[in-house]
Structure 1
């Protein structure tokens, strides 16, 4: 893919958790749509690979990476400030920090799983939303996008910790959306916080590892990336404070 489709021309979008398969697909899509893309991840080597792949695919695009500890609010605020200082604006934060732990049953839940998932799935949402809120408010098309799972709305016995963490992240994001709504007054929100909901994600390496698997209801990371970029095509009033379902509602 070379060139740009232009739907995000001039926009600056930060991607948290940019080194994983969904992050890589999102870097590629946002660059293709014309955005300047700033990826962050805790793994510098994987982040460098993801950024390099996006740069190679889009010779004219600006794609950069920054190793950031998103569990540290101060470090996350500093990252948000750098993005806006370096590029003059910030128009989006896409939250792709993931993680999963589960157990065989509800009573066999290991609370150490919650300790981990609370950090990965909740604290990183809290820190990125607080750090980027003001910058997104200064944008004419600010978007905060959380990627969540259908299990948050219909938890299963063995996924109590995961579903509870996802539900908490959703609630936090919707609260941010309410702030955007209130700040917009009668004119409606200028920025939007929204949740893209999937059953689970699948990518080419997973298919190669399990060629017989159906992955029924899963969302391909490329389709997710398309949906992420597409949020900027819709008015803030339409998407703010909403769950955008990419799978069937449970």
Structure 2
């Protein structure tokens, strides 16, 4: 490992849900660079194995593991959390990167099947992971629950009703978790923090290669997102708990 082994993330144990996509890959790399033990999960076993191998290769000696976990199953999520804490002795974070999008050309063309799909993907997985990791994060001196959200949750557009509503609900759930952390901290303030990182959309190198003339205005590069994720641990829990950290302009 190189870089920040002596920082807050040095020796920390961080779980990453939805780790196989471009944002997940960047996050695994950044956390491994910081000296964290990274426990990754994704529904796509093959892509997850590639992401885990890439992080291990980039940072020799880093502990990066991968497991396919059905985060729609609350028992499976709970088992993942308990297994992680038992194996590594602690759990210091859950980064929720499970994502997906469905939309329509207009409000009246909204297909409620899209809502059913997004409710599971964007809300149920947040509920299950937050409930599963809650106690472990409270036991940690630096527990963090991070949700990646979208600016559209604050300003929904006609064709994004289902997506924006799902993201908004996930944000509300995460803020409620933050209120729980606040109450658990009592007069001394929270020790754990629930934080929302808001982007307009994400961009990565392959997207730029496919569309070399596109400007991707307001988009957040996945490497910038990974840097912001790692940076949450560098700030006191009381400063970031129950907040939205905007990585793009507020709508």
The runs of at least 4 consecutive aligned structure 1 residues that moved more than 3 Å come to: none
* CA-atom RMSD in angstroms: 0.6
Residue correspondence of structure 1 range 1-250 to structure 2 within 5 A:
3-6=2-5, 7=7, 8-250=9-251
Deviations 1:43-78 (A, max 9, x none): 110000000000000101100001100000000000
The whole-number CA distance in structure 2 between the counterparts of 1:107 and 1:93 is 37
The answer to whether the Cα contact below 8 Å between 1:4 and 1:31 also exists between their aligned partners in 2 is no
Deviations 1:151-171 (A, max 9, x none): 000000000000000000000
Deviations 1:145-197 (A, max 9, x none): 00000000000000000000000000000000000000100000010001000
The answer to whether the Cα contact below 8 Å between 1:3 and 1:60 also exists between their aligned partners in 2 is no
Q: Please report how far the alpha carbon of residue 213 of structure 1 lies from its aligned counterpart in structure 2 after TM superposition.
A: 0.6
The answer to whether the Cα contact below 8 Å between 1:106 and 1:160 also exists between their aligned partners in 2 is yes
TM-score, scaled relative to structure 1: 0.99
SS of 1:140's equivalent?
coil
SS of 1:39's equivalent?
strand
Q: How many residues align?
A: 249
Deviations 1:6-52 (A, max 9, x none): 22111000000000000000000000011000000011100000000
The whole-number CA distance in structure 1 between the counterparts of 2:117 and 2:3 is 39
Q: Please report how far the alpha carbon of residue 3 of structure 1 lies from its aligned counterpart in structure 2 after TM superposition.
A: 1.5
The whole-number CA distance in structure 2 between the counterparts of 1:201 and 1:123 is 22
SS of 1:197's equivalent?
strand
Structure 1 segments unaligned to the other structure (5+ residues): none
The whole-number CA distance in structure 1 between the counterparts of 2:113 and 2:214 is 30
Structure 2 segments unaligned to the other structure (5+ residues): none
The whole-number CA distance in structure 2 between the counterparts of 1:72 and 1:213 is 39
Q: Please report how far the alpha carbon of residue 4 of structure 1 lies from its aligned counterpart in structure 2 after TM superposition.
A: 3.0
